[in-house]
Amino acid sequence: MLAPLVTIPLTLRYLGDERYGLWMAVTSLVGVLVFADFGLGNGVMSAVSRATGKEDTNEIRRIIASAYAILTSVAVLLLLIFQLAWPFIRWENVFNATTPPATGEARWVVLVVAVFFLVNIPLGLVQRVQLALQEGFYNNLWQCAASMLSLALVVLAVWLRVDLPVLVLAATGPLTIMAAANSWWLFRCRHPQYCPTFRDYERRVGSDLLRVGGQFFVLSLLLVLGMNLDNLLVAHFATLRDVPEFSVPARIAAIAHSVTGMVCLPLWTANGEALARGDWQWVRHTTRRMSLLCAVGAMVLGALLIVGGDLLLQVWIGTEFRAGMLLWSGFAAWIVLQAGISPYFMVLNATNTLRVQIVAFLAFLPVATILKILAIRYVGIAGIPWSGTAAYLALVIPLVLRACQRRWDIPGVSLGNGGIA
C-alpha cells in the first residue's frame, strides 16, 4: 500500500496527465478481464476451506490440480485470441488518446498489461489456495516483495527516461515473477502434500468447480463492471486529462478501503471451515462483531480523508491537485458502506449463496452507471462515488442482509449449541 505513495507522483510528473491517464484507463479495461478465471479462484477458496474443515488432504489436492488444469487452458486460449485481435484494433481511439506520444504508445501499453494479466490467471491461484488454508499472510509477504521490486524498477525506469510501455513492464512484471516464486515455495516447501500433478485432476471435481465458479464468474463480472469502470467513464464522458484528477484520489481511497478488506477476506474461509463443523453460532456472532468493528474503523479512515485528503495531495502530488470536500466525502461514505457489509458477503460466499448477490448487482450495475454518467455531466467527477454509494445502499445492502438472516434462520440449525440439530 505504501509503494503507490512513491510511484504515483513520480510517474505522474514524468508522464504527464494524458500518458498517465492512458496507463490508468488501460489498467481499468484489462481489469474487467478479472472474470477470465470463470470464478474458479473463488470456488477453490470455498471448496478447499470446507475440505480443510473435514481434514481431507486428498480432496484438497484434487481441487487444486483440477483448478490449475482448467485455468492454464483458459489462459492459453485467451492469449491466442488476444494476439489474433490485438493488431487490428485502433487502441488510441479506444482510450481517446489525442496527442503524441500517447497515440503511438497506446497499443503497446495494452499488449504489456494484457499479456501479464493473462499469464497471472493460473499463477494467481496460489493466492486463493493460501487464503483457503488461512495462510494469506504468506501471500501478503510475497506481494510485499513484489511491490518493493516493482518500486525499484519504476524508479530506475523513470531515471533512465524510458518509454511508457517499458515503464508499465517494470511496474507489472515483478507481480508475475513473485507469483511464480510463491507457487513454487508453497507446493515444494510449505505444503508438498498439496502439490498438484496431472494424475490428481478429476473430472468430477473440475465439473463441480465450474458449476460453482460459473456463478462466481457472473458475480465477478458484475462487480468489476459496477465498480471498476469509473476511469473509463471519466475518459469518455469528460476527458482523458481528467482521469488523473479522479484516479489519484480514488487510489488513496482504495488504499483505505483495502485495510478493511484485508481484515474481512479471511472470514470467507474461516466461515467455510466453521460451517463444515456445523458452528453457525460462531459465524453469526463473528459476522456481526466484525461488521461493527470494520464500519467504525472505516469511519475513522474516512474522516481522515475528508479532513486531510487535499493536504495529502498537495504534499504528495503538488499544489495543483485539489480533490475537494465533495469528492473526499463521497469516497468516505463508500468506504464505510463497503466495510460494514463486507463480513456479510463472506457468509454468503462461504455458503455458495450467490444467486442473491447476482440479482443485487444486476440491479446495481445499470442504475449506478447511469447515475455516474449523469453525475459527471451535471456535478462533475466528484459525484461519481456518491452515485455508486446511493445505488449500493438502495439495491445491494438490503438483499445481502436479508439473505444472511435467512441463512441463520434455516430450519434444523441449532444456534444454541452451535451444531446441526
Quote the DSSP letter at residue 415: T
3-state class (DSSP) for residue 414 = strand
DSSP state string for 100-143:
TTHHHHHHHHHHHHHHHHHHHHHHTHHHHHHHHTT-HHHHHHHH
Which range (274-278, 307-311, 337-341, 407-411) has the least confidence? 407-411
Alpha helical stretches, state H, 32-101: 40-53, 57-85, 91-94
The kind and range of the H/E element at 2 are: none
Pick from 239-248, 272-281, 334-343 the range whose average pLDDT is largest. 334-343
Q: Which amino acid is at 339?
A: A
Grid cell digits, residue 129: 489456495
**In the chain, % of residues over pLDDT 70:** 93
Peptide bond into 101 cis (omega under 30): yes
DSSP-derived secondary structure for 149-201 = HHHHHHHHHHHHT--HHHHHHHHHHHHHHHHHHHHHHIIIII-GGG---GGG-
* Phi and psi, residue 417, nearest 5°: -110, 5
The residue type at 178: M
Q: Determine whether 367 is exposed, middle or buried from the number of CB atoms within 10 Å of its CB (0-12, 13-18, 19+).
A: middle
Average pLDDT, the chain: 85
What's 355-398 look like in SS3? HHHHHHHHHHHHHHHHHHHHHHHHCCHHHHHHHHHHHHHHHCHH
- Burial (CB < 10 A; 0-12, 13-18, 19+), residue 239, is middle
Instruction: Enter the C-alpha cell of residue 69.
Output: 488444469
- Residue 381 near residue 246, CB atoms below 8 Å: yes
Q: Out of 43-57, 239-253, 393-407, pick the least confident.
A: 239-253
| Per-residue confidence (pLDDT) for residue 245, from 0 to 100 | 79
- Model pLDDT for residues 75-121, shown as the tens digit of each residue: 999 899 999 999 998 888 888 788 888 888 888 988 998 898 889 88
- Cβ–Cβ under 8 Å, residues 281 and 415: yes
311-337 pLDDT tens trace: 888 777 765 667 788 889 999 999 999
Residue 356, CA distances (Å) to 218, 272, 309, 401 in order: 12, 18, 36, 10
Model pTM score:
0.71
Q: How many residues does the chain have?
A: 421
Of all residues in the chain, the percent with pLDDT exceeding 90 is 39
Give dist(CA 22, CA 232) in Å, integer: 10
What is the grid cell recorded at 347?
Answer: 457468509
Lowest-confidence segment of 167-176, 384-393, 410-419 by average pLDDT: 410-419
Specify the long-range contacts of residues 384-388, CB closer than 8 Å, at least 24 apart. 384/230, 384/233, 384/234, 384/246, 384/330, 385/250, 385/253, 385/327, 385/330, 385/331, 385/333, 385/334, 386/326, 386/330, 386/333, 388/226, 388/227, 388/334
Distance between CA atoms of residues 374 and 8, nearest Å: 29
